[in-house]
Amino acid sequence: MTGPVNPIRNQFIEELKQSGFTDKQIVVADESRACYGYDATRQSADPMLVLLPENGLQVETALQLAAKRKLKIFPRGAASGMSGGSIPSSDGIILSLTRMKQILEIDQENMIATVEPGVITGELQEEVGRLGLFYPPDPASLAFSTIGGNVAENAGGPRAVKYGVTADYVMGLEAVLVNGETIRSGNKCVKSVSGYDLTSLLVGSEGTLAVITKILLKLLPAPETVKTSLLAFPSMTAAAHAINAMFKNQIEPSTIEFLDHHSINAVRDGLPFSLPEEADTVLLVEIDGTATGVLSQSQKLKELFKDDALLLIEAQNESEREQLWIARRRLSPAIANLAPHKINEDIAVPRSAIPEVIARLENLSEKIALPIVCFGHAGDGNIHVNVMLDKDDPDQARRGHQAIDEIFAVTLELGGTLSGEHGIGNTKSAYLDKEWNPATIATMRAIKRAFDPDNRLNPGKIFQQLERYL
Amino acid sequence: MTTSPWQQELKKCVKCGACMAVCPIYRQTGREEMVARGKLNLIERLNDKNELPPGWIEAVDLCLLCCSCEENCPKGVKITEIIADARYRQTEQLGLNPIKKSAFSLLKNRFLSLPRFLKAGSFLQWLLWRRLPRHSGLVRRLPLPGLDDKTVIPALPQKHLDDYLKKRQTPTSNLKPVIYFPGCATRYLYPQMGLDLLYVLELLGFQGVVPKELNCCGMVTWGAGDQKSNQELKQRNLEVFRKHSDIKEIVTGCASCGHALKEYEDLPQECEILDISEFLFRHREKLEELVGTDKLEKKITYHDPCHLRKGQGITSQPRWLLKLIAGENFIEMRHPERCCGAAGTFGLSHKEISREILAEKAHDTDATGAEIVTSGCPGCLLQLTEGAVVADSKWQAEHPISLLADLLRKGVR
Ligand SMILES: Cc1cc2nc3c(=O)[nH]c(=O)nc-3n(C[C@H](O)[C@H](O)[C@H](O)COP(=O)(O)OP(=O)(O)OC[C@H]3O[C@@H](n4cnc5c(N)ncnc54)[C@H](O)[C@@H]3O)c2cc1C
Ligand code: SF4
Ligand code: SF4
């Protein structure tokens, strides 16, 4: 893995050291750099250098010095990304924000946390939880992904149906531009309308506009209690009707997860409860809030579905709650046993279109002769679509690719979007123009150009190659 | 270096990053090559390379084999097996690294032939101690390479467990035999704990048979990449088990031994390895009756030994036991599952990181206000005792079985 000694790199390193970077913050060794070039998509490329800044000033310094030499910069959080957002190029520099992991302030009066980007989402939740506060966004990766990465991808989770996604909690940001200057947006005010809303622009920008160095997050009072129920229905349509009925009857679940029948079959054995044979769709429903509110809503839930549901189990305590969640948690490893590989997309559609999407994907599965397993967030229409295949079989690989094209086509036709959570990154950039018209993409590119004229900040993400980008 | 026999296993890692949430080494170093995902990446990429870069060696070396990553890995990758194997192939090529070598040869010899070693007195000469009030451990007095003045080495008991057992009269009638596998640490450093365990077994109607020929379980040698010694020890133990194959239950009070023994491939048929907490839970009715309403009047807390919780999946039985012993006085600490940083020879060869990990554990222990921190592993007890010294705190570290034995002795009296 030894590459040629790179004079530009050496000069750059020299300047970094003169500006206060320590040896430990500059990763040069081949074998160490090799561990900063992958993410959860399993793509991998070794960056020419890795920097581990410890504060916003160091980020500024790094970007200023990189600007002088027109070096490319790739921001990286925990690299749990599912769309290749942090994958570098071999002539690029990984800027790992993992060392900037301080919770700077928890303002209890205004219920706002100020954090550095490398704070782990779950650790923030734990800290604010100790004060009776609540940071709701709950991507499944919360135990290891960073707030910075969550903001950059606008991550969401099961609780989105009631509480929304990361964007709904970002009150303000500090971010360093590609030339090394810091910009600020937002503040602690609930009402704040001065100038363009740069916060909204940076949330979900996937590290292509600026490097986020400080984040103000809205907090809520922690809900008193939560009640979890599992319901089984004979069809996806029946389940969809059930969800509508919940909302119409003033039940406001914080989570509605669903498993389609392939998912059910994958986990059926070894569940701590038995599922009726006819169960085609399972819903995992959580209701949170005050004790009295939760009680009355969950009674209503039981009332409503006592006839229609094939099964309705309500968890009475934490360990029963855990048992109900087992079905959902075991899903990923369980479906991995169905085939050597999976292509996994996280489309989203309006909630009402879920049964239609599932039915059309069922047909598609038959057509391409590959299993397609769907599960996800029924409350907000975000569906994890998994095409199971053996990529080493060229014919299966071809059919898999065909499937993706069709999945996206169906999704867009039904008013959906390419990605509900994971972002475009470099894995979905080829499809961007299927969702947006040329004028819209041109506007996005103009914004990118305004922030990053030389295309040096996380190039190759969201938009395809340079020619089309400029 | 030779090719890893774990090729397929390495490919199972999907680089999801879930291991980052739990790796103590990653927590302290914040370096991606130190987390399981990074280590596996390096092991896979430098598979059959002859030259091993220093970063590779460091990454493979800096691992507690605590299984935290394994417990958390959605793909069930056998991470610690892969790392232990990489160490093995590395030592085949380069020999043990010098720090590890000195620490390890000491431990290995001590474990393999400690009695002789001790008689020669060299062990005691090598280490100079000072007794600390309040603590069962000792703190070294003179600076020695690799150790500082807070390193706790347990008060070397005058007698080993074997010495006590020679004189001990066990009423054999009416008692059902089980094999008791004490493990080296209990045998030579904490013999009283072994006696406590045997005492409790007897009250429950079991005779703990301790065959003299039992050896070290092999965990330390496996972890250090010394596969040869590991196999040797394993075979010797298996021979003993086979000789006594009419006894089906093998009980141990050492989490690491239990974890190692449960991994033996060819245990005699129907032979079962049980941690003492599992064993007691099986006989809970009898035990609950024996304990009655007696309760320990001290606040206690509990640290999950990695090799119990992550290695064997045992979490509820020790807690049941502690509630039985102390009732409401048993308080959970924050993050009881986090490694204490002992990990066999790791605490000796990587003092600094081990200390940082320990400091967090000490902090969480302190916060409970407990007088006693319990743990089902002598290695952890040693480390936790050092934690009290480092943090200048007052708690003691005890095995739950010792607290139980004390409680029962009172009741019997
Ligand atoms: C098992 C698993 C489950 C997941 N579940 C979910 C889920 O439920 N919901 C969901 O939304 N996602 C989920 N994800 C995807 C992923 O965890 C999220 O996208 C997460 O937000 C990424 O955070 P990260 O810290 O890992 O960022 P990285 O992967 O390191 O980076 C992601 C993007 O953000 C940019 N970036 C990172 N930090 C900064 C910064 N400080 N400034 C500017 N740009 C930055 C990077 O350049 C990159 O483009 C899951 C991933 C895994 C592996
Ligand atoms: S948790 Fe397992 S699969 Fe995920 S990155 Fe770590 S080792 Fe790989
Ligand atoms: S065994 Fe422990 S120390 Fe080693 S990589 Fe896994 S979590 Fe980290």
| Residues with Cβ within 8 Å of residue B113, at least 6 apart in sequence | none
Q: Is A144 on the interface with B (CB under 8 A)?
A: yes
Position B232 scores a pLDDT of: 86
State in Å: Cα A451 to ligand 2 middle. 35
Residue B157 backbone phi and psi in degrees, to 5: -65, 150
In a domain, B276, yes or no: no
Residue A196 backbone phi and psi in degrees, to 5: -65, 150
Helix (H/G/I), strand (E/B), else coil: B140: strand
The DSSP code for A272 is S
Report d(CA B373, CA A141) in Å as an integer.
32
Q: Which domain holds residue B26?
A: 7-94
pTM of the prediction? 0.88
CATH code that applies to domain A7-96: 3.30.43.10
- Per the structure block, which two tokens stand in for B131? 């007794």
| Residues with Cβ within 8 Å of residue B165, at least 6 apart in sequence | B210
Position B161 scores a pLDDT of: 85
Residue A211 backbone phi and psi in degrees, to 5: -95, 115
In a domain, B39, yes or no: yes
The DSSP code for B136 is S
pLDDT of residue B109 exceeding 70, the answer is no
A80–B16 CB contact, under 8 Å: yes
Count of all residues that appear for chain B in the document: 413
State in Å: Cα B63 to ligand 3 middle. 5
Asked if A102 and A186 touch (Cβ cutoff 8 Å), the reply is no
In a domain, B354, yes or no: yes
B241, B244, B245, B249: CA torsion to nearest 10? -80
Strands (E), A177-318: 182-186, 211-218, 220-221, 225-233, 255-259, 281-289, 311-314
Average pLDDT over residues B100-111: 50
Number of other residues whose CB lies within 10 A of the CB of residue B328: 8
Position B170 scores a pLDDT of: 64
In which element (H, E) is residue A148 found? helix A147-153
Nearest ligand for residue B44 CA:
2
The secondary structure of B315-334 as a DSSP string is -HHHHHHHHHHHGGGB-PPS
C-alpha distances out from residue B55 to B32, B43, B355, Å: 11, 11, 22
| Segments of chain A with pLDDT less than 50 | 1-2, 467-470
- Partners of A96 on chain B (C-beta within 8 Å) are 32
To probe the interface with A, which of B10, B32, B58 has the most A CB atoms within 10 Å?
B32
| Residues with Cβ within 8 Å of residue B187, at least 6 apart in sequence | B114, B160, B161, B162, B194
- Looking at chain B, the whole-number percentage of residues with pLDDT higher than 90 is 48
Q: Can you give the residue ranges of every domain in chain A?
A: 7-96, 103-221, 225-332, 338-413
Given pLDDT bands bounded at 50, 70 and 90, which one contains residue B223? confident
pLDDT of residue B180 exceeding 90, the answer is yes
C-alpha distances out from residue B282 to A236, B187, B311, B312, Å: 45, 25, 20, 16
Q: Is the CB of B19 under 6 A from ligand 2?
A: yes
Position B107 scores a pLDDT of: 47
In terms of DSSP H, where are the helices of B224-345?
227-243, 255-262, 276-282, 284-291, 306-312, 316-326
Candidate from B41, B60, B65, B338 with most ligand 3 atoms within 8 A of CB, to mutate: B65
Of B31, B66, B94, the residue at which a domain comes to its end is: B94
- Partners of A143 on chain B (C-beta within 8 Å) are 18, 21
In a domain, B125, yes or no: no
Residue A288 backbone phi and psi in degrees, to 5: -125, 170
For ligand 1, residues with CB inside 6 Å are A 39-40, 75-82, 85-86, 97, 117, 139-141, 145-146, 148-150, 152-153, 155-157, 206-207, 211-212, 421-422, 458, 461; B 16-17
Position B97 scores a pLDDT of: 54
- Among A382-386, B292-296, B359-363, which is the least confidently predicted range? B292-296
Q: Could you tell me how far CA B83 lies from the centroid of its own chain?
A: 18
Same-fold call for A7-96 versus A103-221: no
Q: Classify A338-413 by CATH class.
A: alpha beta
Report d(CA B364, CA A94) in Å as an integer.
35
Report d(CA A76, CA A47) in Å as an integer.
12
Q: Is B335 on the interface with A (CB under 8 A)?
A: no
Bigger pLDDT: B86 vs B100: B86
- Among A318-322, A444-448, B165-169, B224-228, which is the least confidently predicted range? B165-169
Position B185 scores a pLDDT of: 84
Position B117 scores a pLDDT of: 42
Q: How many domains does chain B have?
A: 2
- Looking at chain B, the whole-number percentage of residues with pLDDT higher than 70 is 81
In CATH, A103-221 is 3.30.465.10: yes
Of B94, B113, B136, the residue at which a domain comes to its end is: B94
Bigger pLDDT: B164 vs B150: B164
- Residue in A closest to B12 by C-alpha: A340
Q: Is the CB of B35 under 6 A from ligand 2?
A: no
Helix (H/G/I), strand (E/B), else coil: B232: helix
- Residue in A closest to B26 by C-alpha: A98
Nearest ligand for residue A83 CA:
1
Position B82 scores a pLDDT of: 94
Asked if B240 and B247 touch (Cβ cutoff 8 Å), the reply is no
Given pLDDT bands bounded at 50, 70 and 90, which one contains residue B106? low
Asked if A214 and A116 touch (Cβ cutoff 8 Å), the reply is yes
Q: Is A25 on the interface with B (CB under 8 A)?
A: no
CATH code that applies to domain A225-332: 3.30.70.2190
Report d(CA A60, CA A179) in Å as an integer.
8
pLDDT of residue B112 exceeding 50, the answer is no
Q: Which of A2, A41, A26, A188 is nearest to A99 (CA)?
A: A26
Name the amino acid, one letter, at A421: E
- Per the structure block, which two tokens stand in for A353? 């279109």
Atom of ligand 2 nearest to the CA of A40: 5
Task: Report the CATH number at residue B72.
Answer: 1.10.1060.10
Position B294 scores a pLDDT of: 86
Report d(CA A69, CA A48) in Å as an integer.
14
Helix (H/G/I), strand (E/B), else coil: B113: helix
Chain A, chain B: beta-carbon pairs less than 8 Å apart: 72
Asked if A49 and A94 touch (Cβ cutoff 8 Å), the reply is yes
Task: Report the CATH number at residue B304.
Answer: 3.40.50
Average pLDDT over residues B200-225: 88
Print the SS3 string covering A46-114.
CCCEEECCCCHHHHHHHHHHHHHCCCEEEEECCCCCCCCCCCCCCCEEEEECCCCCCEEEEECCCCEEE
Given pLDDT bands bounded at 50, 70 and 90, which one contains residue B114? very low
Per-residue b or e along B183-202, where b marks 16 or more CB atoms closer than 10 Å to that residue's CB: bbbbbbbbbebbbbbbbbbe
| Residues with Cβ within 8 Å of residue B214, at least 6 apart in sequence | B181, B182, B237, B240
Name the amino acid, one letter, at B85: D
- Per the structure block, which two tokens stand in for A401? 């690719």
For ligand 3, residues with CB inside 6 Å are B 22-25, 36, 39, 63-69, 79-80
Of B70, B94, B118, the residue at which a domain comes to its end is: B94
Bigger pLDDT: B221 vs B307: B307
- Residue in B closest to A120 by C-alpha: B21
Average pLDDT over residues B153-173: 71
